[in-house]
Chain A
Amino acid sequence: MQVPAQETDAPDRNTGFAAEALFRLAGRKALLGILIPGLLLIVWQLSSSQGWIDGILYPAPTTIARAFYDLILSGTLWENLRISLARAAIGFALGGAAGLALGVLVGMSRRTEKVLNPSVQMIRMIPHLALVPLFVLWFGIGETSKVLIIAKGAFFPLYINAFIGIRNADNKLFEVARALEYSRWTTIRKLVIPSAMPNIILGTRLSLGLAWLGLVVAELMGATSGLGYLMSDARQFSQTPIVFVGIVLFAVIGKLADSGVRLVERRLLHWQDGFKGR
């Protein structure tokens, strides 16, 4: 009786192995992230080459890749990308640094909080686009207004998160700092900043994202260079593949920057003892 039973088990076990192998494959972190975009690309390419969708509105991935290649060869891509990256970096550095500094200041002192926080929160609620006309009037159409728009976006997440992080610091550790005779500056350096670090890193990630977002707004308000300009220019000439190149680049570079911060996060926050997901 046992032998035939084993034989009927065999196919089941094979599919079991296959499923297991698939899971093992998918279990690799990188593959899990690529799963959805990869599937989408295949379907997209297939629909385009089969003529199911409009090739001009939805150019095939291969057409986009071709446009990408041409842009690299002509040097236009690098030229514009470099300018955009510089704008985003300067805007993020300015806004982020100011947000962090002010967030720490407001976090440390209740009085500063009462004086500054209401105004900051009001400014936060003003949309980028509402400020664009004013910035153009004040600072002209040049780099200053663009960088400032980006900086405004990058300012708030770091400001709010630094503030929250500091207020979440363990009061009992402040008692320890007093007993160990830490100066005010040492307390900030050795207690306040490290305990706010998880929030500060979260703020950095959000700030980076908003700087990237602000970049598009800034470059669409009348730029003659940059990734956003490249895209709006292409749109006017119905060069959809170039628009897609821009979109993909925004996604990929944004993701790379975010991954960079997460790498730093893992190095800085490995002391944390929280739930890490199943």
Chain B
Amino acid sequence: MAESILEISSVSRVFVKNKSTVTALDRVSLNVKRGEFITLIGPSGCGKSTLLKIIAGLDTQLEGKVLLEGEEIVKPGIDKGFIFQEPRLFPWLTVEKNIAGDLSLRRPEIRDRVAELIELVRLQGFEKAYPKELSGGMAQRVAIARALLRNPKVLLLDEPFGALDAFTRTHMQEVLLEIWERNRTTMIFVTHDIDEAIFLANRVVILKPRPGSIRGIVPVDLPFPRKKASSSFQELRIKILNEFEKVDDLELESGFVI
């Protein structure tokens, strides 16, 4: 558990737009342990999505270094599973073919793995369904299964449940925790929902905007399954809120759920 799988050292990212520059990330450093569940939280504009895109290799215009198992990240790949805000399924493929992607379902080992994953994300009976027949939560579970089939070293989730209603969202959080408990995949999860951040994480990483940097890291030692209404949960919630209040000029922007 102590071994680092991901080392982010002094990463900066500057966007240049019409001669003006915006520093999205300013010397961010973070070590993630193997099998750890990290949530990144902060108001919009704090660079949390940018950081995730950098880890994914989708954004390579950075200063500093990101090492995954000691190797520098230079391009996207299946070792860095990425779950977007939308499911991004291929509409012409059935659920099982979406999960399989470029891997052939005719290979027995692929077929077995896909069947296993469909069970893991609780989609039995929907193997032959098309994306248009799925609800938002179901589609997002297909996307998760698609990433997991490739045995990623780390699963990166960019506000994956943001578009779902509160009940579906809670359900999805439970499904994700179950996956994590069974597979022990290292997870980095971006959210702007404090409850979600505490409910899922081993450590909550709090980011602040302008320039985007780490405000603080709050370890969450509550046992699973966690109860959002419990007093220890609420204590952590207050602790994290206090972290935010330390920033004098903090502006809470719309979409930031307290």
Interface residues of A (CB under 8 A from B): 172-173, 175-176, 178-182, 186, 190-191, 194-195, 197, 269-273
Contacts and interface: CB of A to CB of B under 8 A. Distances in A.
A173 B88 contact: yes
B102 A186 contact: yes
B102 A272 contact: no
B102 A271 contact: no
Given A179-B58, A179-B76, A181-B77, A271 B91 contact: yes
Contacts of B80: 179
Interface string B157-201: 000000000000000000000000000000000000000000000
29 contacts: A173-B90, A175-B84, A176-B84, A176-B90, A178-B58, A178-B76, A179-B58, A179-B76, A179-B77, A179-B78, A179-B80, A179-B82, A180-B78, A180-B146, A181-B77, A181-B78, A182-B101, A182-B102, A190-B101, A191-B90, A194-B90, A194-B92, A195-B92, A269-B92, A270-B130, A271-B92, A271-B93, A272-B91, A273-B91
B191 to A, nearest CB: 20
Contacts of A181: 76-78
A202 B248 CA distance: 60
B68 to A, nearest CB: 14
Interface of B: 56, 58, 75-78, 80-82, 84, 86, 88, 90-93, 101-102, 130-132, 146, 150
A180 B101 contact: yes
Contact of B86 (A172, A178, A271, A272): A172
B150 A180 contact: yes
Contacts of B101: 180, 182, 190
B153 to A, nearest CB: 14
A182 B77 CA distance: 9
Contacts of A179: 56, 58, 76-78, 80-82
B84 A172 contact: yes
A175 B82 CA distance: 10
Contacts of B82: 179
A175 B90 CA distance: 12
A178 B77 CA distance: 7
Given A172-B84, A178-B76, A180-B150, A190 B58 contact: no
Given A190-B102, A271-B130, A176 B88 contact: yes
Nearest to B131: A271
Given A172-B84, A172-B88, 17 more contacts: A173-B88, A173-B90, A178-B58, A179-B58, A179-B76, A179-B77, A179-B81, A180-B146, A181-B78, A182-B101, A186-B102, A191-B90, A194-B93, A271-B130, A272-B132, A273-B91, A273-B132
A190 B88 contact: no
Contacts of A197: 92
B10 to A, nearest CB: 25
Nearest to B81: A179
Contacts of A191: 90
B192 to A, nearest CB: 21
Nearest to B56: A179
A212 B83 CA distance: 49
Contacts of B146: 180
A163 B84 CA distance: 28
A182 B102 CA distance: 7
Contacts of A269: 92
A179 B73 CA distance: 13
